[in-house]
Amino acid sequence: MSSPRLMWRKSLNHVMLSLTGVAAFGVVSILFLILGYLMWNGGASLSWSFFTQLPKPVGEVGGGMANAIVGSLKLLLLAAVMGLPVGLLAGVYLAEFGGNTFSFIIRYTADLLNGVPSIVIGIFAYSIAVLPVKHFSTLAGGVALGIMVIPITVRSTEEFLRAVPGSLREAAMALGASKWKTIATVVLPAASGGILTGMLLALARVAGETAPLLFTAFSNRFWSQGWGQPIASLPVMIYTYAIAPYDDWHRQAWAAGLVLLGLVLLSNLGARYILARTKVV
Amino acid sequence: MEKTKTHASQHPLRLKISNLNFFYGPKQAVFGLSLDIPINRITALIGPSGCGKSTFLRTLNRMNETIRHTRVEGEVLLDGQDIHAMDVVGLRRRVGMVFQRPNPFPKSIYDNVAYGLRINGFSGRLDDLVEHSLRRAALWEEVKDYLKKSAFALSGGQQQRLCIARALAVDPEVLLLDEPCSALDPVTTAKIEELMFQLKDSCTMAIVTHNMQQAARASDFTAFMLDGKLIEHSETPKLFTTPSDPRTEAYITGRFG
């Protein structure tokens, strides 16, 4: 009998199985470690005034980041307005009209754009939206985030549209619907839950971006004076506060981290909820 | 061939197909097919898998045009007009289609039936026409209290009748049925056949079927296809009792296919 060999194979099996288990456990524990640490430190510093007050001048304890919370929301709104329609339409093109060399190029470009480091996108936004007017602005931050939203939206829209069965398209066209009418009245509604989910996830993804905002939206210790002026955002505030030499600012940075994570988590949950409710496809 | 064709030709024709060739890229799927489809009769297309009967059926409402790299040659006349010269939207309104698997839209029962009317800009009383179409498809009594419910809540047979109602809503002259019962059980199949019989007064039908009993029961004329060619076409009782081509006989007696 090949008993030693069998023993060897069995023990190898055990070792490999344990290794994969340990790695999987590591992944989960890292996430929970971050979450727990954030809640421990951030939760203690979180107060009502964090949501309602402006940052206090250096040396004064207390204050909040109301301007940064509103700022992040305004930047995301801009990113949504600029990025989502382009991403949606390009995704429709790829899924419904693609299949040639041109669509291959678009798909490849979208993937490349998705891989471009966010700081590079920041430089680009800086050169087209900050340099010409010679000052930082909310709008420039929105441009940077909007560019980042596009490739994610393109690919998720395409995937969800492809999941719509071809028989539905045939049914609509057999009733005399044109291609565009078929897409607008049957295919898009059937995929709407998934597409919306993809969009929410894209926004959640860029909500935490810091680098492209550093030299586009910059930051602001007060309420922003309008779309053309610099604006505070949670990620940039975390960066500024975390490297500052004041203990009170460190506490505020933790709190801001927790709020940002809560925002992202909420949109993730919202996305899952929408997807679960519309499991048509 | 000429002798068998005269039977269908004695009736007034809805569709006249002459010398039709169809290609998927370089591969030819239909070869020089000529067929007459008489008004308000049911014409069945039978033949083994892959013989081109579905492909042929789909040329009649130009559905194959949605597939890339396909080409069609020959003439199809609908009430004397060449369908390839027509606006495709108008053609598909006049020539409806029911598919192999029920494919209701992920919408309510009502919206499914109303779909064709809405996209064609119909501006009359939708409610009446939806009810009328569902009655014609023998589905009204079963769904009249659930019109706002999702079409996916229906059984397979009900879904297929809903698809028929959806096709009937735009009041087509011709209804193409592409193996409409292949995904259904025998009882439901019988219902669909009964429905086809009722629709005969107002609608010309062409049905592709794998089921020879179904062709024998439900159709007035039967066309037998093999390898993309029309082998025999005659009145259904004649084709099934005294076929004139030995290949037809071999197929209907179950020696191949």
Residue B169 belongs to a domain: yes
Inspect the interface and report whether the beta carbons of A173 and B90 lie closer than 8 Å.
no
* pLDDT given for residue B9 in this prediction: 63
* pLDDT given for residue B248 in this prediction: 93
Residue B188 belongs to a domain: yes
Structure letter (DSSP) for residue A54: P
Q: Is the pLDDT of residue B5 over 60?
A: no
Cα torsion angle, A244, A251, A209, A213, sign = negative
Name which of B61, B101, B116 is nearest A167 (Cβ-Cβ). B101
Q: What is the pTM of this model?
A: 0.83
Total domains in the fold of chain B: 1
Residue of chain B nearest A171, judged by CA positions: B103
pLDDT tens by residue, B196-208: 999 999 999 999 9
Q: How many CB pairs below 8 A link A and B?
A: 67
What range defines the domain where residue B242 resides?
2-252
Judged by CB atoms within 8 Å, which residues 175-194 of B form the interface with A?
A: none
Cβ neighbours for B220, distance < 8 A, ≥ 6 positions apart: B38, B41, B42, B43, B235, B236
Residue of chain A nearest B170, judged by CA positions: A175
Mean pLDDT of B148-164: 93
Inspect the interface and report whether the beta carbons of B119 and A173 lie closer than 8 Å.
no
Inspect the interface and report whether the beta carbons of B167 and A174 lie closer than 8 Å.
yes
* pLDDT given for residue B211 in this prediction: 87
Inspect the interface and report whether the beta carbons of B115 and A280 lie closer than 8 Å.
no
CB distance from B87 to chain A under 8 Å? no
Chain B hits for A281, Cβ within 8 Å: 106
Residue B87 belongs to a domain: yes
- Domain-by-domain residue ranges, chain A? 3-45, 52-277
CATH number of the domain where residue B45 is located:
3.40.50.300
Instruction: Tell which residue, A209, A204, A217, A199, has the closest CA to residue A71.
Output: A217
Count CA atoms closer than 13 A to B84's CA, side-chain side: 13
Mean pLDDT of B109-128: 90
Inspect the interface and report whether the beta carbons of B115 and A169 lie closer than 8 Å.
no
Inspect the interface and report whether the beta carbons of B66 and A99 lie closer than 8 Å.
no
Residues A148, A161: Cα–Cα separation, whole Å: 21
* pLDDT given for residue B68 in this prediction: 84
* pLDDT given for residue A141 in this prediction: 94
- Please name the amino acid found at residue A242: A
Residue B225, beta-bridge partner list: B230
Cβ neighbours for B120, distance < 8 A, ≥ 6 positions apart: A176, B89, B93, B170
Residue of chain B nearest A100, judged by CA positions: B68
CA A259 to chain CA mean position, Å:
15
Compute CA distances A258 → A54, A73, A144, A238, whole Å: 18, 16, 24, 10
Structure tokens at A178: 């044109």
Residue B257 belongs to a domain: no
CB distance from B170 to chain A under 8 Å? yes
Domain A52-277 CATH (choose: 1.10.8.640, 3.40.640.10, 1.25.40.10, 1.10.3720.10): 1.10.3720.10
* pLDDT given for residue B1 in this prediction: 41
ipTM of the modeled complex = 0.87
- Residues A136 and A215: beta-carbon distance below 8 Å: yes
Name which of A173, A181, A185 is nearest B63 (Cβ-Cβ). A173
Q: Which of A170, A175, A182, A185 to mutate to test the interface with B (most CBs of B within 10 A)?
A: A175
Inspect the interface and report whether the beta carbons of B115 and A185 lie closer than 8 Å.
yes
- Residues B113 and B130: beta-carbon distance below 8 Å: yes
Inspect the interface and report whether the beta carbons of B103 and A170 lie closer than 8 Å.
yes
Q: What are phi and psi of B200, to 5 degrees?
A: -60, -30
pLDDT tens, chain A, 281 aa long:
568 889 999 999 999 999 999 999 999 999 899 889 999 988 888 889 889 999 988 878 888 899 999 999 999 999 999 999 999 999 999 999 877 788 889 889 999 999 999 999 999 999 999 999 999 999 999 999 999 999 999 999 999 999 999 999 999 999 989 899 999 999 999 999 899 989 999 999 999 999 999 989 988 888 888 888 999 999 999 999 999 998 889 999 999 999 999 988 888 888 888 888 775 54
